[in-house]
Structures are given as C-alpha cells and as structure tokens.
Amino acid sequence: MYTLRWQPPYDWAWMLGFLRARAVTGVEEISETRYVRSYSFAGHRGLITAEPDDASATMKVTLSKGLEPIADHCLQRLACLFDLDCDPRLISEALGDLGAARPGLRLPGCVDPFEQAVRAILGQLVSVAMAAKLTAKVAQRYGEPLESADGFLCFPTPQQLAAASAEDLKALGMPLKRAQSLIAVALAACDGAFPLTLPADVEQGVKDLQTFAGIGRWTANYFALRGWQAKDIFLPDDYLIKQRFSGMTPAQTRRYAERWQPWRSYALLHVWYTEGWIPDAGR
C-alpha cells in the first residue's frame, strides 16, 4: 500500500461524484469513498485502488501486482487525476468571493491523457451520461480484458484504435466524422504528433489541437483542462458558461475571466457548479 497526501480543504464528495458521473463501465468503478480502475502502461497492466481519508488528509493507494514495477508512475498519474499538488490557499486568494463557498473544489485531471482525448471527442454535443456510455462501448469493443481482475478491461491503446474501422466505430452510435476523428487522433498519438503532455505554451498548444480533424475550440480547451490539467483554461463557448454569462459575447466572457488568471480553470469549475451565479455587472 502507498500513501499520497494533499493540503485541505478538499471536497471529496464533489470530486468522486464528478468522476462517478463520467465513469466508464469496465474501466472504472467509483463509489462515494473509493476509486478503482484498470490501467496499462509500458507493458504493465493491473488495477489501481485509491481511498481518500479526510481525517488524515491522505490517500491510501493499492496497486495490483502487475503495476508494482511502475508504482511511481501510477502514483504520479493519481496525483494528476485528483489534483493533489494543488495549494488551495493560492486559489482562494486569486478567486476571492467566487471560490469562498467551496474552497475544497479541485481540478479533475486524468490517469491516461490519450483516454481523455477520446472521452473529449466522444463528449461533443451529447450529455455526460451518453458520453460515458459511448466511451464504454468503445472500450468494450477495442479494449482487452484484464485477466487479473474479473469484469475489468484496459482502455484501448492508440495502436488498437488506429487499427479500427470508421464504419465499425460508427456502428457503436457516433457520427462517421467523429469516428474518423478518433482514428486520426489515435494515429497521431502513435506517431507522437498528438500532444499528450502539457506544452510550455498552453495557448499555442490549444491552437495546435484544433488542427486535428474533428477537434474544435471547445474540445481542445476541455482536453487541455483535463488531459493536460492546465490551470488557466476558460471555456467561453461552453453551453452552461453562456447561460451564466447571459447577454455577453464569448469575447466579453473571455475578457471578464481574465481577472482570475492564472487560475481560470478553477474559476471555470466554480462558475459551473455555483447555482445561480451571475457576473458582477459593475466590473
């Protein structure tokens, strides 16, 4: 067993609820107190179990035998998923009143950036529940069962999805162009052309993402938010953000959000999840 730490406060009920709503059947099992998922990296496969304990501000992590050789890597990916390195005091100081009601909100990252790219593409113009179901279909069609854990499978690798047929993917319930986009991203990931790690220039990185077929501004920014866990991303084109900033253009919304730099990703979460929030008309 391994132990990870974080700086309180941390809203674990919200974080686990956010991830549970997006859980991919066969890959993840998430309860109110525990996160479990399959994982495959560099030829190692197994199961990760993470259980946060608020009282001690620690997370207990168990890795199945197959992942022991890459334990440090697995722990780093969990720290990214749960934003464990966040200093909530810095965020509170930057967000002021916006973050006062929920100082324990953290930025959900990901365990596997390629998997997150697939999720972002499949999440276009559909509900959260529908995106999770469609992602599960892709995982079940192209992923491989995890022999050491009954009922679990490993999310498909870029190589496995690159070899898929667009028509086959379409049959799972997605538009043909989206299927073609998945294959194109998988091929680019195989070649190292798709940026799976946080670039030095995030703004340029987001622009580069939009050069891939099927990835528009919203998808690029959402992937940057979670796949890279970029801390200074805002989504002025997002449906709910447009509702929150009613009467403002995306450009006006973007300018308004500049007050929260360099922590706009956290501001985005608070705006999303603060019912009834409206921008200050006087600022």
Give catalytic residue positions: 238
76 DSSP assignment? H
* CA 283 to each of CA 168, 241, 250: distance values in angstroms, whole numbers, following the listed order: 51, 18, 16
φ, ψ for residue 46, nearest 5 deg: 170, -165
Q: SS3 of 179, please?
A: helix
Q: Distance between CA atoms of 173 and 125, rounded to whole angstroms?
A: 13
Beta strands in 108-266 (DSSP E): 144-145, 153-154
Structure token digits, residue 135: 């992602």
CA distances 217 to 36, 38, 53, Å, are: 31, 30, 37
Q: Which of 238, 124, 117 is nearest to 174 (CA)?
A: 124
